[in-house]
């Protein structure tokens, strides 16, 4: 916007079409948190979402929030976690990010949880075992920091239920029923256990009733439960929500961000934001141009994040003087994902988060048929290992290798456990199957001698329970996602019963770590380090406070919600 235009707006205030105290761009976990805090504080609140549904990537996610030193830990007798978490983050992140922001997170995270519980009764379940991702560092914990949102009844939203973005289709049963990982594990014992049978009967009968009236099940869990809950509370407080609204400009006057120009229903609306504009557009994982500019080579072509997270908000902010933080090692947070074409020709990007890689009887190899990583390491570190290996040996895609017995017992990627027929997956090119390891290697274009040797030495590790190459199953994080009934190592099992199977995985960003530079109150900064008054960023729009590292399960949503809370509190003068 030119100075003349800004002067024009200042001298003719009537040119504003609408006025709010707080305006939030983006209805993911971070933006919804910022908006609900504003609404709770009785501020005139406008939430602008560019798509026709709320939720963004947060709706697709597991919804875990990593909040050290939370009240649930204290209720279970865990104390002193603030100090331990800072030690852990210092060791993991070092000087790759501003320590002040990490300190603010450790202090604001629990405040945010208590505030939301007090005002809107948002409650969580603490995972006793959900280990931090780098167990060798001081201050790493086995559980307690990661919280799971409680299930939410989508029926309470009435017609607005359709406004909640659905999860990744492959994460639902029967085309529309959501379950948690814990429930999935219980359902797998359905033939052996009365409790599991009762759970299955309860979930299925609710689902059948739901499908008579709704397009999908209304018992929401994981990220869907979180965003739907925040959304319901926003509706109850009569916050204004604009869907399919495109912000074309931010307006600043005298160095203060004070308004926006929004395209809505075919017309242009000028909105005055009296106390703050909060950017929460979810970063740029879905922008091919920005991925090309900031990502390592080969550049990821797919993402499991929501397709609307294209970095528009970052560009809007840069037009009024905001700057991005320092680029990091890769500027992304990663999942290894397998890709498939669905029946309706859409592309499924299936993230291999924790269900298969850690289980006994699976290895990951590069084009030489060699392992390059502890397969059970965190998704972020696994992809980083793919890139490291790729410097010397083509390792993108990498191949997950197992046998049919493994697929039956644990599933692999989109293929659920107990799947009888693999042919449909083979036909679609998702799964490759062969009667010998050599033949499998030839089918997938991997060095056959290398793969035979790797499988054979891995089978020896499975026998002894010690992975001499990469230590799979040697730490609490790995073991948490292995098979506890499998001994001597819950993550190591032989690959020796034909047919043998392979699935390709690629690096896909689940979010981005390069974002707008902010201070500890989420105020967006200029290159001079001065805050742009009135402008805030949170969630993936904010430069990652962990310097691109991934400390533990829920680190994205935990930080996004904490800084969404802080941004609004600061904008309205409550801190």
Ligand X SMILES: Cc1cc2nc3c(=O)[nH]c(=O)nc-3n(C[C@H](O)[C@H](O)[C@H](O)COP(=O)(O)OP(=O)(O)OC[C@H]3O[C@@H](n4cnc5c(N)ncnc54)[C@H](O)[C@@H]3O)c2cc1C
Which positions from 235 to 274 touch ligand X by CB under 6 A, shown as an x/- string?
Answer: ------------x---------------------------
In terms of DSSP H, where are the helices of 356-471? 379-390, 404-410, 423-427, 437-444, 448-464
Torsion, Cα of 105, 307, 354, 459 (10° steps): -130
Is residue 110 within 8 A of residue 73, CB to CB? The reply is no
C-alpha Rg value of the chain to the nearest Å:
24
Q: What is the DSSP letter of 435?
A: S
Region near ligand X per CB under 6 A, out of 67-75, 308-316, 426-434, 497-505: 308-316
How many Cβ atoms are within 10 Å of 541's Cβ, its own excluded?
33
Q: Which is nearer to ligand X, 43 or 352 (CB)?
A: 352
Residue closest to 460 by CA, chosen among 366, 541, 363, 364: 363
Tell me the closest approach of the beta carbon of residue 223 to ligand X, in angstroms. 6
Tell me the closest approach of the beta carbon of residue 285 to ligand X, in angstroms. 8
Tell me the closest approach of the beta carbon of residue 551 to ligand X, in angstroms. 10
Separation of alpha carbons 515 and 539, rounded Å: 9
How many Cβ atoms are within 10 Å of 76's Cβ, its own excluded?
12
Token digits of residue 46: 């406008």
Q: Which is nearer to ligand X, 58 or 390 (CB)?
A: 58
- Asked whether the bond before 488 is cis by omega within 30 degrees of 0, the reply is yes
Is residue 502 within 8 A of residue 439, CB to CB? The reply is no
Separation of alpha carbons 274 and 14, rounded Å: 14
Q: Which is nearer to ligand X, 61 or 98 (CB)?
A: 61
Q: Which is nearer to ligand X, 300 or 451 (CB)?
A: 300
Contacts of 88 (CB under 8 A, 6+ apart): 132, 134, 137, 138, 139, 140, 141, 551
Which positions from 86 to 125 touch ligand X by CB under 6 A, shown as an x/- string?
Answer: ----------------------------------------
How would DSSP label each residue in 463-528?
Answer: HHT--TTT-TT-SHHHHHTS-TTSSS-TT-----SSSEEEEEEEEEEEEES--B-B-TT-EEEBTT
Separation of alpha carbons 136 and 477, rounded Å: 10
Residue closest to 312 by CA, chosen among 273, 282, 271: 282
**Pairing state of beta strands 256-264 and 177-178?**
unpaired
Name the closest residue to ligand X (Cβ): 28
Region near ligand X per CB under 6 A, out of 298-306, 365-373, 403-411, 475-483: 298-306
Q: Which is nearer to ligand X, 355 or 462 (CB)?
A: 355
Region near ligand X per CB under 6 A, out of 263-271, 280-288, 381-389, 471-479: 280-288
Q: Which is nearer to ligand X, 317 or 431 (CB)?
A: 317
| Range 158-187, binding ligand X (CB under 6 A) | 168
How many Cβ atoms are within 10 Å of 325's Cβ, its own excluded?
21
Tell me the closest approach of the beta carbon of residue 394 to ligand X, in angstroms. 26
Residue carrying the six token digits 């210092």: 90
Separation of alpha carbons 524 and 516, rounded Å: 6
Q: Which is nearer to ligand X, 224 or 395 (CB)?
A: 224
Sole binder of ligand X in the list 287, 540, 543, 568 (CB under 6 A): 540
312 binds ligand X (CB under 6 A): yes
Tell me the closest approach of the beta carbon of residue 245 to ligand X, in angstroms. 7
| Range 24-83, binding ligand X (CB under 6 A) | 25-31, 48-51, 56-58, 60-64
Count interface residues toward ligand X (CB under 6 A). 42
Tell me the closest approach of the beta carbon of residue 135 to ligand X, in angstroms. 19
Tell me the closest approach of the beta carbon of residue 185 to ligand X, in angstroms. 17
Region near ligand X per CB under 6 A, out of 111-119, 279-287, 322-330, 407-415: 279-287
Sole binder of ligand X in the list 22, 140, 203, 309 (CB under 6 A): 309
Tell me the closest approach of the beta carbon of residue 190 to ligand X, in angstroms. 25
Tell me the closest approach of the beta carbon of residue 548 to ligand X, in angstroms. 13
Region near ligand X per CB under 6 A, out of 9-17, 156-164, 357-365, 555-563: 555-563
Q: Which is nearer to ligand X, 29 or 386 (CB)?
A: 29
How would DSSP label each residue in 24-86?
Answer: EE--SHHHHHHHHHHHHTT--EEEE-SSSSB-HHHHHS---EE-TT-HHHHHTT---HHHHHH
Region near ligand X per CB under 6 A, out of 179-187, 307-315, 392-400, 455-463: 307-315
Region near ligand X per CB under 6 A, out of 360-368, 395-403, 421-429, 557-565: 557-565
Is residue 503 within 8 A of residue 430, CB to CB? The reply is yes
Nearest-5° Cα angle at 306, 225 to 66: 50
| Range 338-367, binding ligand X (CB under 6 A) | 351
Separation of alpha carbons 133 and 139, rounded Å: 11
140 binds ligand X (CB under 6 A): no
Q: Which is nearer to ligand X, 373 or 512 (CB)?
A: 512
Q: What is the separation, in whole angstroms, between the first and last Cα of the chain?
A: 31
How many Cβ atoms are within 10 Å of 458's Cβ, its own excluded?
26
| Range 486-515, binding ligand X (CB under 6 A) | 510-511
Q: Which is nearer to ligand X, 8 or 307 (CB)?
A: 307
Tell me the closest approach of the beta carbon of residue 466 to ligand X, in angstroms. 31
Q: Which is nearer to ligand X, 446 or 557 (CB)?
A: 557
Tell me the closest approach of the beta carbon of residue 558 to ligand X, in angstroms. 6
Tell me the closest approach of the beta carbon of residue 511 to ligand X, in angstroms. 3
Region near ligand X per CB under 6 A, out of 300-308, 372-380, 408-416, 487-495: 300-308
- Asked whether the bond before 499 is cis by omega within 30 degrees of 0, the reply is yes
282 binds ligand X (CB under 6 A): yes
What's the gap between Cα 519 and its chain centre?
23
Please give the residue ranges that form the binding site for ligand X (CB under 6 A): 25-31, 48-51, 56-58, 60-64, 168, 247, 280-282, 304-306, 308-309, 312-313, 351, 510-511, 539-540, 554-558, 560
């Amino acid at each position: 916007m030119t100075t003349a235009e800004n002067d024009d707006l200042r001298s003719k205030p009537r040119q504003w079409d609408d006025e709010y105290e707080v305006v939030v761009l983006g209805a993911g976990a971070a933006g919804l948190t910022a908006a609900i805090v504003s609404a709770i504080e009785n501020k005139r609140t406008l939430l602008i979402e560019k798509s026709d549904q709320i939720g963004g990537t947060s709706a697709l996610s597991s919804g875990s929030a990593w909040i050290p030193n939370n009240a649930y830990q204290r209720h279970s007798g865990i104390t002193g976690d603030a100090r331990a978490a800072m030690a852990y983050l210092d060791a993991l992140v070092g000087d790759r990010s501003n320590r002040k922001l990490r300190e603010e997170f450790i202090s604001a995270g629990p405040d945010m949880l208590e505030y939301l519980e007090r005002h809107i009764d948002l409650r969580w379940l603490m995972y006793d075992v959900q280990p931090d991702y780098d167990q060798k560092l001081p201050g790493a914990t086995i559980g307690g920091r990661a919280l799971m949102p409680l299930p939410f009844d989508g029926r309470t939203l009435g017609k607005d239920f359709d406004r909640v973005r659905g999860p990744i289709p492959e994460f639902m049963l029967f085309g529309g029923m959501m379950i948690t990982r814990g429930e999935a594990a219980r359902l797998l014992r359905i033939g052996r256990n009365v409790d599991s049978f009762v759970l299955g009967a309860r979930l299925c009968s609710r689902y059948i009733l739901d499908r008579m009236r709704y397009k999908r099940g209304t018992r929401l869990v994981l990220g869907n439960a979180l965003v739907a809950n925040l959304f319901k509370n926003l509706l109850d407080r009569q916050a204004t929500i604009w869907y399919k609204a495109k912000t074309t400009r931010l307006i600043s006057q005298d160095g203060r961000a004070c308004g926006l120009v929004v395209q809505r229903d075919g017309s242009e609306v000028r909105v005055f934001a009296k106390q703050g504009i909060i950017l929460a557009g979810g970063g740029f994982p879905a922008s091919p141009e920005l991925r090309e500019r900031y990502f390592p080579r080969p550049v990821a072509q797919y993402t499991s994040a929501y397709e609307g997270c294209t970095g528009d908000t970052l560009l809007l902010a840069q037009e009024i003087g905001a700057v991005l933080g320092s680029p990091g090692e890769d500027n992304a947070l990663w999942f290894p994902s397998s890709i498939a074409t669905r029946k309706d020709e859409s592309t499924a990007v299936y993230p291999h988060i924790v269900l298969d890689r850690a289980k006994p009887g699976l290895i990951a190899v590069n084009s030489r048929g060699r392992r390059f990583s502890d397969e059970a390491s965190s998704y972020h570190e696994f992809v980083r290992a793919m890139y490291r290996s790729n410097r010397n040996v083509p390792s993108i895609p990498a191949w997950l290798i197992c046998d049919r017995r493994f697929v039956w017992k644990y599933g692999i990627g989109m293929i659920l456990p107990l799947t009888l027929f693999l042919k449909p997956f083979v036909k679609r090119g998702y799964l490759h199957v062969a009667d010998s390891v050599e033949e499998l290697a030839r089918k997938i274009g991997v060095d056959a001698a290398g793969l035979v040797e790797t499988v054979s030495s891995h089978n020896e590790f499975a026998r002894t329970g010690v992975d001499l190459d990469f230590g799979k199953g040697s730490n609490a994080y790995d073991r948490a996602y292995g098979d506890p009934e499998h001994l001597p190592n819950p993550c190591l099992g032989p690959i020796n019963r034909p047919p043998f199977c392979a699935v390709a995985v690629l690096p896909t960003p689940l979010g981005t770590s390069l974002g707008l530079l902010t201070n500890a109150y989420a105020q967006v900064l200029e290159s001079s380090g001065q805050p742009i008054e009135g402008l805030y960023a949170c969630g993936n729009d904010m430069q990652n406070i962990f310097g691109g590292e991934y400390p533990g399960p829920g680190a994205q949503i935990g930080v996004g919600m904490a800084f969404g809370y802080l941004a609004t509190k600061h904008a309205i003068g409550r801190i």
